[in-house]
Structure 1
Amino acid sequence: MAIYYDQKFKTWYVKFKYKDWQGKTHATTKRGFKFKREAVAYEADYKMQAQQNPTLTIGKLVTEYLDDYKLNRKESSYRNIKRILELHVLPFFKDMQLGSIQPYHIKMWQKELKKGEYSDSSIKTYNVVFNTLLNYAMKYHGLPANPFKVTGTTGKITKSMGFWELSDFKRFDAVVDDPVYRVIFNLLFYSGLRIGELMALTVEDFDFRKNTVSVSKQYNDITDTITSPKSAAGIRSVSLPASVMAMVKDLFDRFYVIPERPFGYIGRKGIKFVMDKYAERAELRPIKIHDLRHSHVSMLIKQGINIAAISKRIGHASPAITLGIYSHVYKNEDEHIAEVLDNIREEKTSPI
């Protein structure tokens, strides 16, 4: 840093060397600053701007970012991010140079998204993806500041979570007259497996002697591939009621040739369609397939099962994740807890 005071003009000036985006060294001088801090800020900003590639557009940045993203993430995640960037970011910013993007541009883009027929949750996701892209640009291309720091990310992530009580599921189960779908729904409800985990199961994953299912993979219907679980904790052995395992064995015995993945040939949409049909027949509110997993966890919590055991059973990396998702279930138990404490207090204070 070379900041000087000009006695003749009573102002500050700066004289320094800098490197451009190609690594070449240059020198420059700028005079006429009323305050020293202005000269200091000018030098810092000048050096940062000089390191930016003036020809780098948002379009080229997206290509580079996706190439890097693909190396470190699952194919399904890559395709999702690629789709968002191509459909919702590039149409607005493809030819804009990285160094020229300002909070104003982000604000105008956010307004355009709100005019479209997108949910708040989708808008939030598009904002988060674009924000991450510009953070990447700050880290690797010298973008001085992320304009999202000024505008913020608009939209709102809303995760609806439905539940069936045990009595609801029994009512549902009573009207399911298709043996294949009956096994699918019982497995999902009583195991807490994700639908992708169920669809990846092979016959060898079922241990009918121990009444367990081994989970070590999941089916990705976007890429039509079998992949590893979401995390290392997803590899686990899940115990099941003997009655449910008996249903599975009976189903397998009916097959002339058991498919390599007994539940992998039925599409997710087909399962949901059938599930809604039987829910209507049982006069139950429809829920998502994944909500059978939520129903399983809710049932275990209400039965007083230790949260660490539940977390391990459903393949979460830690009990903290499980608590974060299902904390509202515990809140519903507040009145019951108060009753228990009242009973304990009365027992201790009652006369002998």
Structure 2
Amino acid sequence: MAATRRNPRSGVEDRWYKTVTAVDSVTGEKSRQRAKSANYGCRKRWRARYVDPNGVERAESFVTKAEAQKFLDGDVTTKVVTGTWVDPDRSGVLFEVVAEKWYTTKKLRKPKTVGGYRSLLDTLVLPRWGTVPLRDIEFEDIQEWVVTLSESGSVRFEGRGLSASRVKQSYQVLGQVLRFAVKAKRLAVNPAEDIELPALTQSEKVYLTHVQVLRLGMAVGRFRALVLILAYTGIRFGEATALRPRDFDLDARRIRIVRSATFVRGTGTVVSDTKNHTNRSVPIPVVLVIELERLLAGLDPDVLVFPSHKGGYLESTEFRWVFDQAAEAVGLNGFVPHWLRHTAASLAIKAGANIKVIQKMLGHKTATMTLDLYGHLYDDDLDAVAERMDAGARAVLAELIETGEAPEFYANMSPAELARSAQGWKQWIEAERARTTADQLRTGSPAEGSQQRQKPA
């Protein structure tokens, strides 16, 4: 027989008193009277009873009748009508239980990302929230936790505040778990929304010149080719350490980026696809081709191009030991390998590359991301753009003068005059303006034939 849903009903009950039927011993008449129940004086007196949207009868006890009625009229009725009602049994589960369920859904992410989630959960999130029931996690408690992390650290790192980026990462993991709980119908709303986070400080990017790149490459010894590749192609360190000779086409001056090597704590080096799961081909400058021809000569197509001293995948710790000393030796104290990626973008922009080319070279997901990171570098090229536009305009004017189509103002200009540099034109225009102003002051009207005057050589 199919199960039937119970009719929704609600009401407030007095748990201390009950109504009983009394029989008069003389007349035999029956009457209803109040009598103390077995629960008299025990626990909370008033019970709000209701049937949830799933047809299950539920109850909640309160000290006063007003509180019980308010609970029914407000919380229950409103949430049932709006569809935000949550099963109290599901919202009463501990945070750590839901966090582990959420974590299992992230196993398809890149190994380094999954490892980062595990580290944040174990060191910063679970020590504070693990044993707290979901329904007891409040907005103000989360805000207080964020402030505590910023000022004095966590339970495991008490005494020193965390960086703004680390605090943000911890908050994001907490927020994702709670968002998962909302989708799983364990919470009606996410209490982690609209939390105020510490401001992230923007570190100023450092861009090397060609001279600095080459000096750094010479100082870094056996990693010279690796440094030059990072600085002139902009590929990521993990992409570079996963390269094999078969990925290089020196005739076409291209490197095909198809994989990345990442060190994951507790696991070791994991090789997977690139960060944005897309392959790309990056150009190689001729100066780097010569370096690579020597490096790749005689290598098996499947060996690592940049192995560790033991022959396996090169880890950042081994590379940094050499790189940091080399950077200091050439006056680049504090310069980190990732800034070579910024350097590649800067050098490409100075060479005339547009933002879409830079995006493709660096493997960014969108051009917007590339523009946000490096758009300011194009400001330095505004004068160069104006120079090129000016040269194009002057070339067209020269043609119009030869065909007699030029405006009257330009009619008496020779092609040689039109070929002046931009600076020369600025000087000539300023001189013309000065003469015109002087004529106007003298005659009270624009001087006729002012455009006939001889231009300065």
State TM-score, norm by structure 2.
0.64
Q: Which amino acid aligns with 1:262?
A: V
State how 1:184-203 maps to structure 2 within 5 Å: 184-203=226-245
State how 1:137-216 maps to structure 2 within 5 Å: 137-149=181-193, 152-158=195-201, 160=203, 161-173=205-217, 175-176=218-219, 178=221, 180-216=222-258
- SS of 1:226's partner is strand
Q: Is the CA contact (8 Å cut-off) linking 2:220 and 2:323 kept in structure 1?
A: no
Task: Select between 240-249 and 80-89 the one with higher mean Cα deviation.
Answer: 240-249
Q: Is the CA contact (8 Å cut-off) linking 2:175 and 2:193 kept in structure 1?
A: no
Number of residues paired by the alignment? 333
Does residue 150 of structure 2 align to residue 105 of structure 1? no
2:363, 2:336 → 1: CA distance? Answer: 19
Q: Which amino acid aligns with 1:79?
A: G
State how 1:31-70 maps to structure 2 within 5 Å: 39=73, 42-45=76-79, 48-50=85-87, 52-70=89-107
Unaligned regions of 5+ residues in structure 1, if any?
Answer: 5-13
- SS of 1:69's partner is coil
Q: Which amino acid aligns with 1:61?
A: V
1:305, 1:319 → 2: CA distance? Answer: 13
- SS of 2:131's partner is coil
Counterpart in 1 of 2:378? 330
Q: Is the CA contact (8 Å cut-off) linking 1:51 and 1:141 kept in structure 2?
A: no
Shift of 1:321: 2.2
Counterpart in 2 of 1:17? 51
1:153, 1:209 → 2: CA distance? Answer: 54
Q: Is the CA contact (8 Å cut-off) linking 1:123 and 1:156 kept in structure 2?
A: no
Same amino acid, percent of matched pairs:
22
**Alpha carbons of 1:343 and 1:214: their partners in 2 closer, same or farther (altered >3 Å)?**
closer
Q: Is the CA contact (8 Å cut-off) linking 2:8 and 2:55 kept in structure 1?
A: no
2:9, 2:380 → 1: CA distance? Answer: 64
Larger Rg: 2
2:379, 2:198 → 1: CA distance? Answer: 27
State TM-score, norm by structure 1.
0.81
Q: Which amino acid aligns with 1:73?
A: R
1:254, 1:204 → 2: CA distance? Answer: 12
Counterpart in 2 of 1:115? 152
Q: Which amino acid aligns with 1:103?
A: F
Counterpart in 1 of 2:261? 219
Higher relative contact order (CA 8 A, sep 6+): 1
Name which of 269, 273, 282 aligns with 2:317. Answer: 269
Residue deviations 1:255-298, cap 9 Å, x none? Answer: 7x888112132321222232222222222344221111111111
2:337, 2:353 → 1: CA distance? Answer: 23
State how 1:223-262 maps to structure 2 within 5 Å: 223-233=268-278, 235-253=279-297, 260-262=303-305
Counterpart in 2 of 1:304? 352
- SS of 1:183's partner is helix
Shift of 1:25: 2.1
**Alpha carbons of 1:232 and 1:66: their partners in 2 closer, same or farther (altered >3 Å)?**
closer
2:105, 2:196 → 1: CA distance? Answer: 24
Shift of 1:156: 3.1
